Each structure stands twice: as structure tokens, then as C-alpha cells.
Amino acid sequence: MDFHDPPGRRRLDGVIGIADRALKALLVPARAARPLPRPVGPGPGAPLAEAERRESAALMRVNHAGEIAAQALYHGQALLAREARTREFLLGAAREEADHLAWCESRLAALGSRPSLLDPLWYAGSFAIGTLAAAFGDPASLGFVAETERQVEGHLRGHLERLPPNDLDSRAVLETMRQDEISHGSRARFEGGSRLPIPVRGLMRLTARVMTRASYWI
């Protein structure tokens, strides 16, 4: 007697898993496994002026949207990963990105703001991109992770320069996120990620630019 699940059942379980992850990312408040990063120093910075609060909130909204996209990318790539080792790496990175999502939500609430209204669009589009990257094989998928994290790390450096100097709480979050992204990119290269063609890297930058500019306002 064959006790293994039939292919149809495995496909159904996969679809249910995809839907569950998407709903949790979009509708359920994120929960972090690690504590919220705190500033290092004797005490809090000076209160933010209204213009500074709005700028910090807009930047954190962009970062929150980026973490929604990261969840979708990793979930889509893990779905079609060829090797168990690759799948575990992708899902482990997604769990760390879930910390980032929770931290960004916390900062948005503290700043009296909200996530991007376009988050469902970012999730759906990023999930499709993740599955497409994975369809070319694990080396290409891991290379996509490495390039994505390289671009995200640069984006976070830019945000750290733009943050109001007094917003030490947001700065602590972004610094920790930046270190995690560097780690994910290094690990992806170590696991065998291949370097992506220049046109693909350019298209990734263009796509990210559209998302960040839209999320800043909407």
C-alpha cells in the first residue's frame, strides 16, 4: 500500500500554504522573533518636528513595502526551489525579513502613520517575480537574492542619510535591517548564486524605483 500523499494532494497543500503566507503577510500584524532594535546612547533624541515626522513615516512606509515584497519573493522562490538546502535558506531568510516587517510596522505606528495601500500589489508582483527567478534553477534564484540584497542594502544606506537626525529609533531599525540584508546576500553567493546579466540587474533597479516612489506617497 502506498502511504505517500498523491500528487494532487501535495499541489493542494502547496496552494493552501501560498494563500496562508500571503494572507498573514498582508492582513495579520507581523510578529518578530527578535526584539525591536533600540538606539545605543544615553537617551532618546529630541522630539521630531511635524515635517520630520512625515519624512520618517514616508521612508518607513517604503521600507515596510519592501519587506512585504521580500516576503513574497522568498516565498515564491522557495516554492520552486530544486534543492532542500536552497529552500531552507530561502525560508530562513524570509523569517528574518518577517522581523523587519514587524519592526517597520512598529515604527509606522509610533510615527502615527500607516503601511502603503499598494501592499497587495507589491506582494502579488513580487511573488510572480520570485517564482520566475526560481524557474531558472537554484543558482539563478540565489543570484537573484544576492543582487536584490545588494540593491536593498544600498537603498537602506540612502534612507539612513535621509532620516531626520533626531529619529534615532528608526535609525536603529534600519541599521539592523541593513546588516541582515548584507548577510543574506553573502550567504546567497556562498550557496552558489550566479551573477545576473546586466540587463536583468537594470530591470530590477527600475522595478524597485517604481515601488519605492509609489509607496512613499500612497
Tell which residue, 67, 135, 53, has the closest CA to residue 101.
Answer: 67
Q: How far apart are CA 32 and CA 103, in angstroms?
A: 7
Q: Tens digit of pLDDT for each residue in 77-121?
A: 998 999 999 999 998 888 888 999 999 999 999 999 999 999 999
CA 85 to chain centre: 20
Instruction: Please give the helix or strand (H or E) that residue 26 lies within, else none.
Output: helix 7-27
Examine residue 78 and state whether it is found in any structural domain, yes or no: yes
Instruction: Give the angle 184-187-190 at the CA atoms, nearest 5°.
Output: 155
Examine residue 15 and state whether it is found in any structural domain, yes or no: no
Per-residue buried b or exposed e for 55-64, using 16+ beta carbons within 10 Å of the residue's own CB: bbbbbbbbbb
Number of structural domains, the chain?
Answer: 1
Mean pLDDT over 175-200 rounds to: 91
The CATH number linked to 79 is: 1.20.1260
Q: How far apart are CA 16 and CA 3, in angstroms?
A: 21
Residue the block writes with cell 540593491 = 151
Residue the block writes with cell 523587519 = 100
Examine residue 121 and state whether it is found in any structural domain, yes or no: yes
Q: What's the whole-model pTM score? A: 0.85
Residue the block writes with cell 533600540 = 38
Q: Tens digit of pLDDT for each residue in 131-175?
A: 999 999 999 999 999 999 999 999 999 999 999 999 999 999 999
- Using alpha carbons, list the distances in angstroms from residue 65 to 6, 71, 72, 132: 37, 10, 11, 20
Tell which residue, 126, 109, 115, 128, has the closest CA to residue 215.
Answer: 115
Q: Which residues constitute the domain of residue 143?
A: 70-218
Examine residue 4 and state whether it is found in any structural domain, yes or no: no
- Residue 198: Cβ within 10 Å count: 8
Q: What single letter denotes the amino acid at residue 12? A: L
Residue the block writes with cell 537594470 = 202
Count of alpha carbons within 13 Å of 209, Cβ hemisphere only? 6
- Quickly state the pLDDT bin for 47 (edges 50, 70, 90): confident
